[in-house]
Structure 1
């Protein structure tokens, strides 16, 4: 690792984050400690209003002595990793909205990106799930940016920097617990792949991830363009003829955007694929949930709210 990385981080933070209020989400690892250390200098240079938020999941018996003050303390042990993540971001968004902060800093590294990719693929959410996990968030129409200054650095580089700057570290033994899926990926899967498949696994996967992110983002932008083009707000319908001519990937994303616009936040990919496959039919009604149906007409795919037609194809 080059010794100039510390200056690069400082310059990045100074040049891109001037005079903006910011929250720092911290846990107990070395990455969070390094992020706080770096931003302490930014606070001096730019006079930013920096608010440090620490989360205690109660995963360790000694977790209370990590900090003198804990802003968010879970009332019960959250074992599920996805629920813990939702709890953290929900609390951060509420806090940012209440105190009018528009930026949240996290200490995610390249290794976290790779682990998230494998974790999402194993869950079946795919690359779209990964992209959504790193996208900007919004709360009550207020755009809140997620800033990840360490996103292009490896965990070993952060450890080197902590040693170089004599920053004391707290060993988080929950990283060794195999009750967490991410720990299995980090401590079992990746070392195996490095030893028997490719010693430069992290570098090659980071390159692959960068390419995939750009291509996925391009597809999403295309889907947004066609969604605005095909959607008739007065009829609340999608123009059918052009929709059927699109690539299946774009059709799937347009349906996703339509469901999100209708307030359907949780849906199965098989549901979206089924709707896309039925777009060439006529006079067919597809039930999405108890309040929303799609009616496939001659030239339009209509959204029907609070209707209960007799002939409904219920998608299981």
Structure 2
């Protein structure tokens, strides 16, 4: 009698999880691919489920998008390889190129998601699907942690997030480790394109992936990725509690007609909640997110002014006015 290996059993469990995710995709979707193991594995899973359920509607609604960063000399060959592979399975693919002088990881990420969103709006796609995995989530946490991000920044990589009113970003592989995806790609002989920029240490994420995480595994905790993932789950729950509490408090203390919040009720809240409420106030009403260090200074001024006299605080091209009862915004004249 043939017994299944641990990874084969894991593969069945993972397919069941992704199958539940796939059945929910009834609207138009665009799959972001790069030619690497994560995106090619995701592509083959989606195509496998479409063939298995013979879902012609989903086949017509599924397309692929590829962003060429032009970082390497062979980027053109990689683009042709991906186009040929997508054509072999008779799907649509859209290719975009970033400027050659765009070498910053942060700028490339901003450009990339801007193109994804713009493309989804233009072609009426409801879902943008990416191949981020559990290891990516750990790397993102470490990078954001070193930058001093709070709970919201360190838990930003989630399975489903809302980009616009009608567009969602989905990451169905977020529960899978990169080592498992690599094993599955080898098992099924998937046509992975090896990207040598993943081994260049001038990029921060590569140093985290190739140096920091192996070092932590060897000298601190062999299951460091699982431990960080558990930490992220707890942080995500805490962040959700703070987010929901912030929204409830903001709706309670905001003015029923004007762009203002109740000064006295605002001062009674915890400092963290005050900061979150002010961010919601500025984003919702003014469509901008003030810098945290500037907002902290403003909150200190608000909390230390015990006389409740009328005073003003400059905030970019706007002016925050604090009276005895209300905090409100006016344009600087």
Mapped pair 1:303 → 2:329: yes
The within-5 A match list for 1:242-257 is 242-257=265-280
User: What pairs up with 1:56-205 in 2 under 5 angstroms?
Assistant: 56-68=68-80, 69=83, 71-132=95-156, 134=158, 136-139=161-164, 142-205=165-228
The equivalent residue for 1:6 is: 11
Cα distance 1:25–1:149, how it changes in 2: closer, same or farther (>3 A)? Answer: same
Partner Cα distance (2:183, 2:156) in 1:
31
Q: Runs of 5+ in structure 1 lacking a partner?
A: 309-316
Structure 2 CA distance for aligned equivalents of residues 84 and 201 of structure 1: 28
Structure 1 residues 189-268: aligned runs within 5 Å: 189-268=212-291
Q: TM-score when scaled to structure 2?
A: 0.86
Deviation at 1:131, TM superposition (A): 3.8
1:293 aligns with 2:292: no
Matched, 1:52 2:64: yes
CA offsets per residue over residues 7-58 of structure 1, 9 Å max, x none?
3344334333242221111113211110111111233323311111011111
In the aligned structure 1, how far is the partner of 2:35 from the partner of 2:203? 16
2:292 to 265, 269, 277: 269
1:43–1:50: 8 Å Cα contact kept in structure 2? Answer: no
Q: CA RMSD in A?
A: 1.8
Q: Alignment length, in residue pairs?
A: 304
Structure-1-length-normalised TM-score: 0.90
Aligned equivalents of 1:101, 1:129: Cα separation in 2: 26
CA distance in 1 between partners of 2:37 and 2:252 (Å)? 47
Change (3 A) 1:186 1:110: same
- Aligned mates of 1:133, 1:168 — CA distance in 2: 27
Tell me the alpha carbon deviations over residues 80-103 of structure 1, each in whole angstroms, 9 at most, x when there is no partner: 111111111111111111111110
Shift in CA distance, 109/218, structure 1 to aligned 2, threshold 3 Å: same
User: 1: distance between equivalents of 2:156 and 2:228?
Assistant: 19
On the 8 A contact 2:33/2:39 being kept in 1, the answer is yes
Q: Does structure 1 conserve the Cα–Cα contact (< 8 Å) formed by 2:247 and 2:277?
A: yes
Residue ranges of structure 2 left out of the alignment (5+ in a row): 1-5, 84-93
